Amino acid sequence: MARLPEYLRALHNLAETGHETVSSEGLANAAGVNSAKLRKDLSQLGSYGTRGVGYDVGLLIDQIEYVLGLTQRRAVALVGVGNLGHALAGYDGFASRGFRIAALLDADQERVGEEINGLVVQHIDELPRVAAEESIAIGVIATPAAAAQRVADQLVAVGVTSILNFAPCVLSVPEGVDVRKVDLAIELQILSFHEHRKASLTALPAAGGSALTALPGGLAVTESQEAIGT
Amino acid sequence: MARLPEYLRALHNLAETGHETVSSEGLANAAGVNSAKLRKDLSQLGSYGTRGVGYDVGLLIDQIEYVLGLTQRRAVALVGVGNLGHALAGYDGFASRGFRIAALLDADQERVGEEINGLVVQHIDELPRVAAEESIAIGVIATPAAAAQRVADQLVAVGVTSILNFAPCVLSVPEGVDVRKVDLAIELQILSFHEHRKASLTALPAAGGSALTALPGGLAVTESQEAIGT
DNA sequence: AGGCGCTTGTGAAGACGTGCACAAATCGCG
DNA sequence: CGCGATTTGTGCACGTCTTCACAAGCGCCT
Ligand SMILES: NC(=O)c1ccc[n+]([C@@H]2O[C@H](COP(=O)([O-])OP(=O)(O)OC[C@H]3O[C@@H](n4cnc5c(N)ncnc54)[C@H](O)[C@@H]3O)[C@@H](O)[C@H]2O)c1
Ligand SMILES: NC(=O)c1ccc[n+]([C@@H]2O[C@H](COP(=O)([O-])OP(=O)(O)OC[C@H]3O[C@@H](n4cnc5c(N)ncnc54)[C@H](O)[C@@H]3O)[C@@H](O)[C@H]2O)c1
């Protein structure tokens, strides 16, 4: 389930604020989901809370971290140390959430040798050696779109089976390799769509427009968070 | 539909490579989705292709851009010009996809006055004035999680109804305000989950483990892209 | 003009996710 | 020890999304 990491983050927050147990409703609130959904997710997971009491925060954290495979600190290789790559390399949120940036790689000789956050940028051709030394589990692509497919192929070639792609393009990978994409422009465009929809609704409260102007009203967008509490 | 932006990007690619028309199958491939799904999405949209030929690329781009509300170049305010904020401010992919970064805001006096990409960082207290001047449509939050809710409140107070949040926390906003969240650690954790699942499957090909080790096999994660072609 | 191949648009079936509502279980307290 | 308050786990129904499959439509070639 894609919501498990969200629960995990909320649980860590709760643990830091001293809570030892939490009810499904409390955790659901903290994670921004329905309590029934949360209970169903957690029951799928096999972990058990105590009826009448709730869930043991520490136990649940361990359970979720186990299922997510976070018991081992996975090594991440970051390819493309440009504008975005720098920000990612300097981000401490990875380390605190179960990951270790094990290598920074770039094709630009100008960048090779640069040190960021205690790591030295290496040339992309070093990838096979680095992968062997560090047993890279996840590859992050932060290169321009034109280079992304090639980098993906290189990552796959050295045995990486999970890729996080920031370049705005679709990657072709062999079966068994997982790709997740983050595209900021797409996120903005989805927001823009909602803006447009909202504008159309207020401007034309009682239908009337052409098929085109009336259209945006009925479309749905998933994965969004709208209007949670106040 | 959340897939429209993906189609749009693929269409722009096709337009640049000289294609004038495209079949649903061709576009579906380029966007990494099923062709039937794509046709259904496009028919929902009301735009029409020509049977036996396909879709007119230029026309379809116009249609989708209209529905997404990209005919007007929306103004974006970026709050939190730190590690990540710098990368975003320096990113040219926004401008080319229908957006204009209209303001950079930060609470740190040290950062106020700094110029990035032709824009000067202003103090967050200037937000009301900036919003009035630039008619901000979308707010991007790139501050630490602890400040995110406060910033969101400030954005809402000046009339922003769409927020893109990079801070790892859930935001409470009034009804009618849309929030989308991007959390890189969550993306990595989902990949880690898949790694774990794959490892469990190869290690225990014929069941046998405890309930816990057997569990990761049956869980699904949406929004991912797995094994598309080769 | 007619037929043929190709492509769209869509009906229907199935899979999937969501949320309600309630029984079962546990704890605390009298 | 028993009862009530509380909370989990889940059966069920409903709506949505996905995919297949095919009829209808269009253009081209003869
Ligand atoms: N900067 C952002 O905020 C941002 C936001 C969203 C998406 N993106 C996307 O992220 C990607 C990177 O953006 P950026 O702003 O950092 O670009 P950038 O040009 O600053 O950095 C790209 C880096 O990749 C390196 N590179 C190029 N080809 C390579 C190869 N074959 N192997 C290894 N390294 C290679 C370059 O040397 C450069 O250092 C782009 O696809 C962009 O669309 C960036
Ligand atoms: N750097 C990354 O690659 C990365 C990746 C994923 C998520 N994030 C998240 O993005 C956020 C920012 O990360 P960062 O690395 O840029 O942090 P950062 O500390 O480098 O930058 C945060 C900036 O926000 C400013 N700020 C703080 N409070 C503010 C307020 N109330 N109003 C306006 N500005 C305020 C600070 O002055 C600072 O400039 C964090 O929540 C982080 O978890 C960052």
pLDDT tens, residue by residue, B64-85: 999 999 999 999 999 999 999 9
Residues with CB under 7 A from strand D: A 22-25, 35-36, 39-40, 42-43, 47-55, 220, 222; B 33-34, 36-37, 39-40, 50-53
B86 pLDDT band (50/70/90 cuts)? very high
The Cα–Cα gap between B190 and A163 comes to 11
What is the pLDDT, as a whole number, of residue A223? Answer: 52
- Domain at A74-182: CATH code: 3.40.50.720
A47 pLDDT band (50/70/90 cuts)? confident
pLDDT at B22 over 50: yes
Average pLDDT, chain B: 90
The mean-pLDDT minimum among A53-62, A90-99, A101-110 falls in: A90-99
The Cα–Cα gap between B201 and A72 comes to 17
DSSP state of A181: E
- The preferred substitution site among A127, A143, A163, A164 for testing ligand 1, maximizing ligand atoms within 8 Å of CB, is A143
pLDDT at B143 over 80: yes
Structure-token match 């179960």, residue found: A98
Distance A88 CA to ligand 2 centre (A): 12
The Cα–Cα gap between B11 and A61 comes to 44
B219 pLDDT band (50/70/90 cuts)? low
The β-bridge partners of A50 are A54
A4-67 CATH fold? Arc Repressor Mutant, subunit A (1.10.10)
Q: What percent of chain A has a predicted confidence (pLDDT) above 90?
A: 82
Task: Spell out the domain ranges in chain A.
Answer: 4-67, 74-182, 186-218
B205 pLDDT band (50/70/90 cuts)? low
Q: Protein A127 CA to nucleic acid D26 C1', in Å?
A: 52
What is the pLDDT, as a whole number, of residue B62? Answer: 96
B4-67 shares its CATH topology with B74-182: no
Per DSSP, the residues of chain B read -TTHHHHHHHHHHHHHTT-SEE-HHHHHHHHTS-HHHHHHHHHHTT---BTTTBEEHHHHHHHHHHHTT-SS-EEEEEE--SHHHHHHHT-TTTGGGTEEEEEEEES-TTTTT-EETTEEEEEGGGHHHHHHHHT--EEEE-S-HHHHHHHHHHHHHTT--EEEE-SSS-----TT-EEEE--HHHHHHHHHHHHHHHHHHHH-TT--S-HHHHGGGG---SS-EE----
Q: State which nucleotides on strand C lie below 7 Å from a protein beta carbon.
A: 5-11, 16-21, 24-27
pLDDT at A214 over 90: no
pLDDT at B216 over 60: no
What is the pLDDT, as a whole number, of residue B215? Answer: 46
The Cα–Cα gap between B8 and B29 comes to 13
The Cα–Cα gap between A56 and A15 comes to 10
Q: Which of B46, B83, B187 sits opposite A87 (nearest CB)?
A: B83
Closest residue CA from atom 14 of ligand 1: A83
**How much is the pTM?**
0.92
What is the pLDDT, as a whole number, of residue A137? Answer: 96
B227 pLDDT band (50/70/90 cuts)? low
